[in-house]
Amino acid sequence: MKIKVVLEPSDEGGYTAYVPSLPGCISEGENIDEALMNIQEAIELYLEPLEEDTSFGESAIVRELVL
């Protein structure tokens, strides 16, 4: 899966990283490499399925897709 990440210099130093296609998925780092490492972890957590989410009906069919 390819995800576009935007890196912007922070006023306080370092970089802020965010993912336009994942609202609220944002992180930061002291340098570009650290910001990329941190945003990758944030993306993985953002996309992690909620095991407790059972808001669907009993007759629902649940499938997983690999992208």
Tens of pLDDT, residues 15-66: 999 999 999 999 999 999 999 999 999 999 998 875 556 677 788 887 877 7
pLDDT tens for residues 5-17?
999 999 999 999 9
State how far the Cα of 52 lies from the Cα of 3, in Å rounded to an integer: 26
pLDDT for 61 equals: 83
User: Residue 29: helix, strand or coil by DSSP?
Assistant: strand
pTM of the complete model: 0.73
Report the C-alpha dihedral over residues 25, 11, 33, 18, rounded to 10 degrees.
20
